[in-house]
Amino acid sequence: MSKGPGNPLDLRAWLEEARSLGELKEVAGADWNLELGTISELNVKKSNPPALLFDAIPGYPAGYRVLTCSTASPARLASLLRLGAERNHHALVQKLRGKPAQWQAKAAEFTPRSVSTGPILHNIVDAADVDLFKFPSPLWHEGDGGRYIGTGCMVVTKDYDSDWVNVGTYRVMIHDRNHVGLDMIPGKHGAIQYRKYMQAGKPFPVCIVIGADPLGYLVSGIEVPFGMCEYNYIGAILGESVAVVPGQLTGLPIPAGAEIVIEGYAQPGDERIEGPFGEFHGYYPGKAATAPAVRIERVYFRDDPIIVGSPPAKPPNDYSYSKAVMRSALLFDALLAAGVPDVQSVWAHEIGGARMFNVVSIKQRYAGHARQAGHILNQCGVGAYMSRYSVVVDEDIDPSNLQEVMWAVATRTDPVIDIDIIQRGMGSKNDPMSIAYPYKAPFNSKAIIDACRPYDYLAEFPAVAEASKALQDKTRAKWKDLLGD
Ligand SMILES: Cc1cc2nc3c(=O)[nH]c(=O)nc-3n(C[C@H](O)[C@H](O)[C@H](O)COP(=O)(O)O)c2cc1C
């Protein structure tokens, strides 16, 4: 892929690749006010949805665009992660296995490269002229608290007492022409840095990258280790350092090929009501809450800028597929690292936001193998947060096929012995069920469902009543027109 001179995170180079893969659709005339969001939401519920590039948005100049659904197919995800052509999600998970550990190990070699100029500096707006409504930020859903300019974005901040630059994906709501709300859940790296500035009574400098190659928000939206800069991690994936220019007010590094960057400061004491906005599991959180307000004092944008949008919603949503693939690969690696043999496949289902309903298939080798796999799937480092159901199935079941998984649950379990419950596990205050919980802290309970044939009755277990694989393949080949591939 042509990356543009010195601009490895250039969105436009990637859009060309998506177009050549037949994975991009241009849409003219959709309104920012609910229409664009609803089209994207319906699109992403189709199988293998294209990415959508909205243009001619009423009330905005032609060329001011919004990209959605960018990571929602195996082919696009493979190209974003630079894994070569891949249109099958099982194969993609296999290609991805082991890669996150390699990227992390190599990240230190890919310090961002400072350059003096880049397309992001083509248009610069000073404080007095800042008007965030000049960009077609969508009102995504009817219940949202405002227009969200930042969803598939990268929020760049720096530690108060060290050189650590963090890049995180946190939602960004427009309050007025020059203020945005920044929702960083406590414990997230941006939130930790923000607290330090507030404790020192100092303004918190922020640059928000509103559009870039979606690899950017894919990485800033995953848990890169504390103290590591996501630009380094991105460089390790790309095999070259990200080219950055310094923000003119804050000095924070911004990708030279970014589409739009807004820069400013959160002032001590200025927290405002933010949201509501949907969560990855498909619900609005219970109460509106306050979040830091950032006063925007400079805006940078390319000619004909593109907002990258990726709103959460009831799954499947804009980014649930990418989370399912990434977390499935990480869970697979975690099971192997914990010593579980003969793992065939893992799938972190989109319906559970890739956290709450995960399935592993194994070839059972010994008594207790299935429970071991289920408990580790549920409790390993990548899996524990907000996990709810972990299901273990035999090797004849495809973990990503809910119909098959639930057939195994319905027919190969005796609930009284095949469901283990873990109490007071690692939950979240964002759990939609938390309103009904008795706990004072964010616990939840978890179920491990062993939907494998009972190991002690494997030989006698009834045979499956369906045509053999060989007969199915032969019949499909002969009756292709009738049955399809
Ligand atoms: C599209 C998208 C939107 C997200 N929105 C938020 C958000 O509003 N607040 C938040 O704390 N985390 C949000 N997340 C999750 C964080 O990006 C993720 O936990 C990431 O690891 C945070 O970066 P950090 O580890 O540097 O804190 C979002 C993730 C994605 C992919």
For the segment 180-233, what is each residue's pLDDT rounded down to a tens digit? 999 998 889 999 999 999 999 999 999 999 999 999 999 999 989 899 999 999
DSSP H or E segment with residue 119: none
Strands 148-150 and 172-176: antiparallel
Residue pLDDT, tens place only, 75-101: 999 999 999 989 998 899 899 989 999
Ligand 1 atom having least distance to the Cα of 191 = 27
278 C-alpha vs ligand 1 centroid, how far in Å? 13
Q: Locate the ligand 1 atom nearest the alpha carbon of residue 192 and give its number.
A: 27
CA-CA-CA-CA torsion sign (71, 54, 317, 232): positive
What's the sign of the alpha-carbon dihedral 333, 338, 341, 345?
negative
- The CATH class of 320-474 is alpha beta
Rounded to an integer, the average pLDDT of 154-178 is: 98
Banded pLDDT at 6 (limits 50, 70, 90)? low
The tokens 């994936």 sit on which residue?
Answer: 237
Which CATH class name applies to 96-308?
A: mainly beta
If pLDDT is split at 50, 70 and 90, which confidence band does 3 have? very low
Alpha carbon distance 135, 174 (integer Å): 11
Q: What is the pLDDT of residues 418-459, one digit of tens each?
A: 999 999 999 998 899 999 999 999 999 999 999 999 999 999
Mean pLDDT for the stretch of residues 362-367: 98
CA distance 143 to 35: 14
Tell me the CA–centroid distance for residue 10 and ligand 1, in Å.
22
Neighbours of 234 (CB within 10 A): 29
Give, for ligand 1, the residue of 148, 159, 169 to mutate: max count of ligand atoms closer than 8 Å to Cβ.
169
Query: Which uninterrupted H or E stretch holds 380?
Result: none
Closest by CA to 375, choosing from 366, 384, 363, is: 384
The model's confidence at residue 1, banded by pLDDT at 50, 70 and 90, is very low
Question: What is the β-pairing status of strands 443-450 and 419-426?
Answer: antiparallel
Least confident of 6-15, 137-146, 222-231, 299-308: 6-15
Dist. CA 50–CA 68, nearest whole Å: 9
Of 6 and 481, the structure prediction assigns the larger pLDDT to 481
The DSSP code for 284 is -
152 touches ligand 1 (CB under 6 Å): yes
Tokens representing 409 are 């649950």
As to burial, measured by CB atoms within 10 angstroms (0-12 exposed, 13-18 middle, 19+ buried), residue 422 is middle
Average of per-residue pLDDT across 235-258: 97
Per-residue pLDDT tens for 371-407?
999 999 999 999 999 999 999 999 999 999 999 999 9
314-337 per-position pLDDT tens digit: 999 999 999 999 999 999 999 999
Pocket test for ligand 1, best of 188, 193, 217, 307 (most atoms within 8 A of CB): 188
The domains of the chain are located at 96-308, 320-474
pLDDT band at 2 (very low <50, low <70, confident <90, very high): very low
Average pLDDT score over the chain: 95
Query: Does residue 61 register a pLDDT over 50?
Result: yes
Distances (CA, A) of 270 to 40, 230, 252, 292, 293: 33, 27, 21, 6, 6
